[in-house]
Structure 1
């Protein structure tokens, strides 16, 4: 009888016959791959099955313990966001986590090498041996590399917390609100040498996160300082010296450091005293923003979408990069966002204040957790160069929690500008009433009425801080005014006085 052919092959085709050795090598190859896969899924399981069981038990217990701890932490963070914010802002915990990730990377890599040894690679065919080496190397470097990258990111976060935040005094909320003074200028982080270009108080409800932005014009004059402060004693009748404006308080204080003994930031301290006297709010903390570095932060998050209502000049006419941002809703990069907020050519101070608030609102609403995670290193680097603050590390989790709450709510805004406030000679009682009314509206209370004051005077076209001349009943806006929000100089910009900043921009 002729030999039968192998099913699926033409008659007469040669039949490949495997020897017992071939079958054994295939079994060993599958076993070697299985041991490496087991090490990926459950570190130590390969050793428990085919190696040193004591090492396997230790590795599995560590793995299961860390897995349970991670799942519990994620569950707690899901229901209590404050725990997650505490974890990412605690430098001691971050340091411990960084060391743990590095140790895990080394330990897991050693388990992979041991799993490769247990697979007896020298008993395999050359191709199988090369395949095992390749698979083991790929898995080992993938797992260990991921853990080391995680350790790097944790280290970046820890360094960011150490660099930006200090161990300053913790200050409780004032009347249920945190009042944070935001100062913007061209001085770098950690240096206070120039006049602030932007002054805003973020008044945040300590329970709900509801926020009101209080904008102060840099050219305000003849204002009082907080009662009992060093500056109030020096200027009992207000800051009424020649050419003395709100943005000049800091430089005046730095020229007289003897009045602020022991202070590292006399300019900020004096500015706080002025803002407290003007608004009637007690300032809890301050944050100084280097507006030039702000450009890097916007680029790090991939840009900001803003509604441009009039052509916004980028640069000044003599700059070689001078151009315009055309009207429309568009996503702006760091440079264009910076000039959107700071444009002076053909603009006025009050329009700039409105545009700056629109940028603040856009940044709060548009930066998602996904953006923050995917660009974390760039954001941390930009923020460290951009911001100085006296908010202590222990309070960072509180403000992160409030920021998340504020993200889902409308932001209120009130600016101490014409037509209700004459910046050359402000009525402080009216100013206090305006601020109190805005906060009452934010908290859902019926505000007391605020009487309008005289109409504004026309500021200079280049945005330089000059006091308002004698008020007139019919102010005339300049020929060209760049407005980032609804409104005009004559009517007032909606972003300067709004219960919902988003709708005004």
Structure 2
């Protein structure tokens, strides 16, 4: 009876349902074994798709409908395995096994129950978290082809602090990704760039055909507010997962860089610290001792010492946004450091172990019009990009006079960065 007990528990662990086929309700056992083989077949298919077409698998894994089906199936498997394990433990008849083996047999059955059923239930929960995050963050638009072999994304760091009226994009970048290689170039634009031009067909081009001229300090970053205050210029923005402020910035960034912005990503800096904390902090090398605090403060709040630093969310936020005893261009360089540090921290192992916290923080921090159908392709490009150097170009002095910019020079700088050795052109 002791040997019988061990066999039944072990068989139930590896092939749930076999215990019932051998010593119990054979109908229940056949259902359990069939369900187990079906799961193995699905996992085998997923493995083959991963090996042959990883992008297709990622697209399926980021589809809300597929994730809902996965959540339901995993929850059903968890319930089935609880029933089969408890029934197998009944069939074991512990009282007839040797007294020394009983606690070990029971312990193995409990471990099997937690590992198999608990693992399936938790995986189903994560599938639901993923679905909810994707649905709340990403748009439901259509697939789009790259333009000139690249996808160009406008990245805005929006600062809507309690001391500010509305949101201001203090950090403005363009992330340009080669669709074939994943090679990535980041173009940094200063918020205080003046007289921004607009892309052809922009409603703001009709207002300022020779460039943004408001009369005094016509800064690039102010155009978000201009757009929000003139939302009638972009009546369809909300329906496409955007808003008038974002669209005004998109038109200006296209005019300044000469690139078409297919998508935008807006990161709310107020929730930025939660995302960094969810990732476990970031590692940044501070080039020299830096005082930090608001630009209006008479004394610094503190200092970042020179050298390698591990920063939590609040520290990383201050490092990225502070202008105490500094300027916008120095802050742009620090923001680029923080962006690269976050990219380095978003490795699969780190995200999996902190998945729920990262997903919840991301849903609060990120707004975008990137459609769900593009996620598989973008995740695949991101994995390729991790193995390549990140190319950057800053549209800042001394190369550019931000008060009176030469946009032909800026266009030339951008094209040069895209064609640099670290960012090879698409074939």
Distance 2:299 2:402 in 1: 35
TM-score in terms of structure 2 length: 0.91
TM-score in terms of structure 1 length: 0.77
1:246 to partner: Cα distance: 0.6
Cα deviations by residue, 1:138-165 (Å, 9 ceiling, x for unpaired) = 4324422221111111111111111111
User: Which of 226, 229, 238 pairs up with 1:255?
Assistant: 229
- In the alignment, structure 2 segments of 5+ residues that lack a partner are none
The aligned counterpart of 1:73 is 46
Q: How does 1:92-241 map to 2 (within 5 A)?
A: 92-121=65-94, 135-187=108-160, 193-241=166-214
The aligned counterpart of 2:330 is 351
User: Which of 244, 253, 261 pairs up with 1:283?
Assistant: 261
The aligned counterpart of 1:33 is 6
1:443 to partner: Cα distance: 4.4
Distance 1:299 1:252 in 2: 33
The answer as to whether partners of 2:159 and 2:268 remain within 8 angstroms in 1 is: yes
1:207 to partner: Cα distance: 1.0
Indicate yes or no: 2:360 matched with 1:381. yes
1:249 to partner: Cα distance: 0.6
Cα deviations by residue, 1:307-332 (Å, 9 ceiling, x for unpaired) = 11111234348599921110012222
1:384 to partner: Cα distance: 0.6
Cα deviations by residue, 1:393-414 (Å, 9 ceiling, x for unpaired) = 0001111111111111111111
1:208 to partner: Cα distance: 0.8
Q: Secondary structure at the match of 2:419?
A: helix
The answer as to whether partners of 1:170 and 1:392 remain within 8 angstroms in 2 is: yes
Cα deviations by residue, 1:388-438 (Å, 9 ceiling, x for unpaired) = 000010001111111111111111111211111111111111111111111
1:131 to partner: Cα distance: 6.7
1:295 to partner: Cα distance: 1.1
Cα deviations by residue, 1:117-155 (Å, 9 ceiling, x for unpaired) = 322346568887777655544432442222111111111
The answer as to whether partners of 1:32 and 1:132 remain within 8 angstroms in 2 is: yes
The aligned counterpart of 1:341 is 320
Please report the RMSD computed on the Cα atoms of aligned residues, expressed in angstroms. 2.3
Distance 1:269 1:194 in 2: 14
Distance 2:378 2:20 in 1: 47
Cα deviations by residue, 1:263-311 (Å, 9 ceiling, x for unpaired) = 2200001111111111110110000001221211111111211111111
The aligned counterpart of 1:487 is none
Q: 1:284 to 1:388 in 2, by over 3 A?
A: same
Distance 1:163 1:319 in 2: 41
Q: Secondary structure at the match of 2:412?
A: helix
User: Which of 432, 435, 446 pairs up with 2:411?
Assistant: 432
The answer as to whether partners of 1:160 and 1:384 remain within 8 angstroms in 2 is: yes
- In the alignment, structure 1 segments of 5+ residues that lack a partner are 1-26, 446-505
Q: How does 1:405-484 map to 2 (within 5 A)?
A: 405-441=384-420, 442-444=422-424
1:171 to partner: Cα distance: 3.2
Mean alpha-carbon deviation: is it higher for 81-90 or for 373-382? 81-90
Distance 1:78 1:443 in 2: 27
The answer as to whether partners of 1:182 and 1:288 remain within 8 angstroms in 2 is: yes
Q: 1:215 to 1:434 in 2, by over 3 A?
A: same
4+ aligned runs moved over 6 Å, structure 1: 124-131
Mean alpha-carbon deviation: is it higher for 408-417 or for 59-68? 59-68
The aligned counterpart of 1:309 is 287
Question: Would you say how many aligned residue pairs link Structure 1 and Structure 2?
Answer: 415
Q: 1:143 to 1:179 in 2, by over 3 A?
A: same
Q: Which has the higher helix share?
A: 2
Q: Give the structure, 1 or 2, with the largest relative contact order (CA under 8 Å, sep 6 or more).
A: 2
Q: 1:385 to 1:83 in 2, by over 3 A?
A: same
Q: 1:70 to 1:318 in 2, by over 3 A?
A: same
Larger Rg: 1 or 2?
1
